[in-house]
């Protein structure tokens, strides 16, 4: 145990006395969580600018415009014609245009179908989806009211008229994101991604620093010449550090940004533990091929966005090409996010994510094993030279 503690204490000392590592491992995990989360603090858009081009100029068209403006998602902007709306759309002053035809009121009065034109700015597809849903809600509600009134005018009781108007209704119950907002979706994953990436980059920097400063010999001396002890001692330090960060992030930012936590810690603790060990082993192994800390930093920090895209969190694995899907299944991030979202956001139990846990366990064992082998390879030459020196003396 003494060599293990020596390596643990040595790692804590080296990290605390290296400015780059202090920033990456001590500042970034905490600051980034609040910074990125604050961008989506409102979670969903409100008062999306919608231009209404009223070619009808009737009481019915004005009622439609007022109903649209009353919707919390929309803010109606009156424009004289479609040309002006197109200019405003390109300029970004509005996000959509609703065109009410000239014969709108006449067709409604005669019981005919009146068609509305809706032009959406799909460059911002989330906003356009929200706009489409809001406009559809308003138009659908007004259409149902008109049909009900016609039936009532024919002498049908209100209750029966309502049933005739909507003979089939769907009761929608959004699960796991009741507010149906992008903020609840993205903050949830970004917080976990920040922990993963700062750990990956921080460990990589620390390992590359060992080679840059030619201090692997001192590491092996602290570990009593055991590569396994050296790797495990280093891993325990980062595991303890990020266990504390995880507890903080899963409590404080979740409370600040009002994110639900439906999972049990009894499931989250082993999940994060296995994921961190897999990341540490992978980072130690890969970064051992770099002899400069800056080189490791540049490469590993560039992996953040690709790993997030390939994890299956923002885009389902089933929609990826088969070769890409096979590749990303080799990454710990993929299995972690698959289990993390189901536990923390959907309330899944540990036995419901056994395949992902086993995959992370296997990757953790392989990662640590590769790191031990690599450290043994790097230090074998120096140990042989030391032994020959002793024999010659």
User: What are the residue boundaries of the structural domains of the chain, listed by start?
Assistant: 2-40+182-392, 48-165
pLDDT tens per residue across all 393 residues of the chain: 899 999 999 999 999 999 989 998 888 888 887 787 777 767 667 888 999 999 988 988 898 899 999 988 899 988 888 888 888 888 888 889 999 889 888 888 877 788 888 888 887 777 888 888 889 888 887 877 777 666 666 666 766 655 665 555 666 676 666 666 666 777 778 888 889 999 999 999 999 999 999 999 999 999 999 999 999 999 999 999 999 999 888 888 888 877 778 888 888 999 999 999 999 999 999 999 998 888 888 888 887 777 777 777 777 888 888 888 888 888 999 999 999 988 988 888 889 999 999 999 999 999 999 999 999 999 885 554 343 333 333
Torsion of CA 89, 94, 100, 102, to 10 degrees: -60
B/e letters for 249-286, b = 16+ CB within 10 Å, e = fewer, are bbeebbeebebebebeeebbebbbbbbbbbbbbbbbbb
Question: Domain 48-165, what fold?
Answer: abc type-2 transporter like fold (3.40.1710)
Count the alpha carbons within 13 Å of 118 in the hemisphere toward its beta carbon.
16
Quote the radius of gyration of the chain (alpha carbons, Å).
30
Distance of CA 167 to the CA centre of its chain: 40
pTM above 0.85, yes or no: no
Between CA 257 and CA 367 the distance in angstroms is 34
Q: Can you spell out the DSSP letters for 188-205?
A: HHHHHHHHHHHHHHHHHH
pLDDT in tens, 261-308: 888 888 899 999 999 999 999 999 999 999 888 888 888 888 777 777
Between CA 393 and CA 389 the distance in angstroms is 6
């Amino acid at each position: 145990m003494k060599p293990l503690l020596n390596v643990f204490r040595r790692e804590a000392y080296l990290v605390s006395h290296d400015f780059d590592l202090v920033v990456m491992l001590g500042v970034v995990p905490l600051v980034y969580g609040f910074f990125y989360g604050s961008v989506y603090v409102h979670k969903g858009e409100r008062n999306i600018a919608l231009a209404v081009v009223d070619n009808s100029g009737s009481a019915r068209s004005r009622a439609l415009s007022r109903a649209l403006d009353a919707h919390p998602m929309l803010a109606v902007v009156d424009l004289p014609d479609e040309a002006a709306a197109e200019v405003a759309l390109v300029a970004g002053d509005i996000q959509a245009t609703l065109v009410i035809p000239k014969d709108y009121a006449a067709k409604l009065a005669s019981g005919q179908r009146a068609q509305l034109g809706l032009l959406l700015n799909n460059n911002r597809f989330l906003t356009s989806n929200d706009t489409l849903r809001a406009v559809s809600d308003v138009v659908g509600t007004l259409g149902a009211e008109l049909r009900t009134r016609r039936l009532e005018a024919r002498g049908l009781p209100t209750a029966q008229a309502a049933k005739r108007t909507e003979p089939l209704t769907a009761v929608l119950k959004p699960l796991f994101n009741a507010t149906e907002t992008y903020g609840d979706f993205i903050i949830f994953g970004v917080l976990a991604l920040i922990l993963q990436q700062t750990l990956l980059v921080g460990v990589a920097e620390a390992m590359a620093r060992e080679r840059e400063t030619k201090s692997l010999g001192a590491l092996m001396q602290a570990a009593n010449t055991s590569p396994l002890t050296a790797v495990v001692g280093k891993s325990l330090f980062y595991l303890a550090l990020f266990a504390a960060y995880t507890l903080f992030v899963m409590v404080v930012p979740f409370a600040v940004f009002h994110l639900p936590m439906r999972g049990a810690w009894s499931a989250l603790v082993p999940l994060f533990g296995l994921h961190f060990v897999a990341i540490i082993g992978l980072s130690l192994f890969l970064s051992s091929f770099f002899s400069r800390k800056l080189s490791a930093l540049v490469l590993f920090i560039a992996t953040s966005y690709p790993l997030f895209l390939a994890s299956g969190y923002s885009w389902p694995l089933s929609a990826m090409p088969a070769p890409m899907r096979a590749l990303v299944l080799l990454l710990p991030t993929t299995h972690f996010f698959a289990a993390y979202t189901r536990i923390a956001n959907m309330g899944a139990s540990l036995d419901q994510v056994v395949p992902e846990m086993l995959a992370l366990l296997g990757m953790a064992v392989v990662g640590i094993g590769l790191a031990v082998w690599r450290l043994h390879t790097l230090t074998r030459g120096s140990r042989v030279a030391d032994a020959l020196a002793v024999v010659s003396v």
